[in-house]
Structure formats: C-alpha cells, structure tokens
Amino acid sequence: MTPDRRAVLPLAVALLSLGACGGPGKAPAPKLYVLDAPPDQVFNHVMSLLADWDLLLGGSDRQTGVVSSEEYKIGRGDKFLGEGAGYWADCGKEMFLSRAASADEFRVKIQVKLEPAETGQTTVRIQTSMTAFESEALGSPTARCVSRGRLEEKLVRDLEARLAGSSSSSLSRVPDGRSGVKP
C-alpha cells in the first residue's frame, strides 16, 4: 500500500513541530560565594544594590540574612540591566524561537541568603526564579525558565565592587560547598 500524501503531510508537520519545541536547559549548579566582609555590611550592600537595579524589596530579615525582591516584570522587547530576557534565562524553544525572547512578559525574582562564615566573612547564596508568559504560545502560555547564571554572577560582581569601595574584599566561588577564600 502506498501512503496517501494528504495523510503523510500533516504527520510530518506535526513531527517537525515537536522537534522545534523544547524545554529549558539544565540549571547551572548552585554556586556558593564567600566574601571577606561581615554579614551586616554585605546585607546593607545587597539591599542597596537591588534598589539600584530598580527591584522592589519583597522582604528582608537581617536576623536570618535573607533579602528577596518582588517579581520584576519585563515586557516584550524591554531590557533588564541592559540585556533582553534571553540573555539571563533559558525558557526553552517553540518553533525554533526562544520563548524568553518571544514572550509577552518575562518575570524575575531574586533571593539572597547570607550566612556568617569564618570570622569577618559571609557566605552568599543566590536563588533566582524566572518565568516567561506568551499569550499566543502553541502549548502552555507559561514557561518556567532556567537561569543561565549570568544574573547571579552580575549580582556578585556588583556586590564585590561595592564592598571593595568600602573596604578591601575578596571573593571566591567555593565548589561543592567546601569553604575557602581566594587569596
């Protein structure tokens, strides 16, 4: 039997469409940073840095060392810290297009957890939550996104620069949760 061309074409288009869709990649491994500054000093700089980034504070607790932002909304074509949403996050693809770039709205929320480390040092952990919303998506209009790690790196670089301006500070990325500070 010869397959009917009219039946094969829709099947081929459907299979190609599925291949053009994909979820976000794998999130980078969480990174741990250690700063040569006491937690109170780091806490103050985190609060001012998020405010300078135009992020509204969602909550802060000096006792627990947690600072979090409200969800920040980025419209289609708008930029956050000079970059489009696709620079900061991987939201998967739909029809070969980045869902972060084609979304009607992109939302980001940042939470920073500070913990005392060795005397005069602070351990910094950053968690980001990113979501894209696309009203004309073929599937779900909501896409959970995965950070590319760039926003976390920028936050730490900017924080280190602020600390360096107020005192000498060094930063290190500590793999696998082991402690250590870059000389």
CATH number (domain holding residue 60): 3.30.530.50
Task: Please check whether residue 57 lies inside any domain of the structure.
Answer: yes
Tokens 């469409």 correspond to: 17
Q: What is the pTM of this model?
A: 0.72
The whole-number pLDDT of residue 23 equals: 54
CB atoms within 10 A of CB 175: 10
Give the helix/strand (H/E) hosting 165: helix 150-166
Q: Look at residue 161 and tell me if it is in a domain.
A: yes
Q: Helices 39-52 and 150-166: crossing angle, nearest 10°?
A: 120
Q: Please give the distance of CA 175 from its chain centroid, rounded to a whole number.
A: 19
Q: Considering the domain boundaries, does residue 130 fall inside one?
A: yes
Domain contains 82: yes
Is 141 within a domain?
Answer: yes
Q: What is the pLDDT of residue 30?
A: 63
Instruction: Kindly state whether residue 26 falls inside one of the protein's structural domains.
Output: yes
pLDDT at residue 17 in the model:
40
Closest CA to 128 of 182, 43, 58, 181: 58
Residue 54: phi and psi, rounded to 5, are 65, 30
Quote the number of domains for the chain: 1
Residue 55 CA to its chain's centroid (Å): 14
Given this model, what pLDDT does residue 15 score? 37
> Can you read off the two tokens belonging to residue 55?
């992020």
What's the confidence (pLDDT) of residue 177?
Answer: 41
Q: CB-based burial of residue 56 (10 Å sphere; 0-12 exposed, 13-18 middle, 19+ buried)?
A: exposed
In a domain, 47, yes or no: yes
Whether residue 7 lies inside any domain: the answer is: no
Q: Parallel, antiparallel, or unpaired: how do β-strands 66-69 and 89-90 relate?
A: unpaired
Q: Is 98 helix (H, G, I), strand (E, B) or coil?
A: strand
Task: State which residues form the domain around 68.
Answer: 22-175
Residue-wise pLDDT tens for the chain (183 aa)? 555 555 544 444 443 343 344 555 565 556 789 998 999 999 999 999 999 999 999 999 999 999 999 999 988 888 999 998 888 888 876 555 555 666 788 899 999 999 999 888 999 999 998 888 877 766 677 888 899 999 999 999 999 999 998 754 444 444 334 333 332
* Sign of the torsion formed by the C-alpha atoms of 75, 80, 85 and 89: negative
